[in-house]
Chain A
Amino acid sequence: MSQFKAHSVLPGFNLALGFTLLYLSLIVLIPLSALFFKTATLGWGGFWEVVTGERVLAALRVTFVTSFAAAVINALFGLIVAWVLVRYRFPGKRIVDALVDLPFALPTAVAGIVLATLYAPNGWLGQHFAAHDIKVAYTPLGIVVALTFIGLPFVVRTVQPVLADVEAEVEEAAASLGAGRWDVFRRVIFPAIYPALLTGFALAFARAIGEYGSVIFIAGNMPYISEIAPLLIVAKLEQYDYAGATAIAVAMLLISFALLLSINALQWWSSRRGGR
Chain B
Amino acid sequence: MADERASPESKIYFPQSLAELLQVHRRDPDALIWAGGTFILSQRTGRFAELPATVVSLQDVEELERISRTERYLELGAMVPLRQIIRLGPQNVPRALYDALRHIGPPAVAGLATLGGNLAVAGRIMTAIPVLTLLDARAELRRQGGARWLPVGRVHRADGSVDLQPYEIITRIRVPLYPWTAQVFRRFGSELSPDSDPLTFCGLARTSNRILEELRIVGSAGHPRLLRNKSMEAELVGRRLPLPDREVRQAIETYGEPGHELSSIQRDRFRRLARWFLLSLR
Whether chains A and B associate is: no
Residues in A lying within 8 Å of B, measured CB to CB? none
Residues in B lying within 8 Å of A, measured CB to CB? none
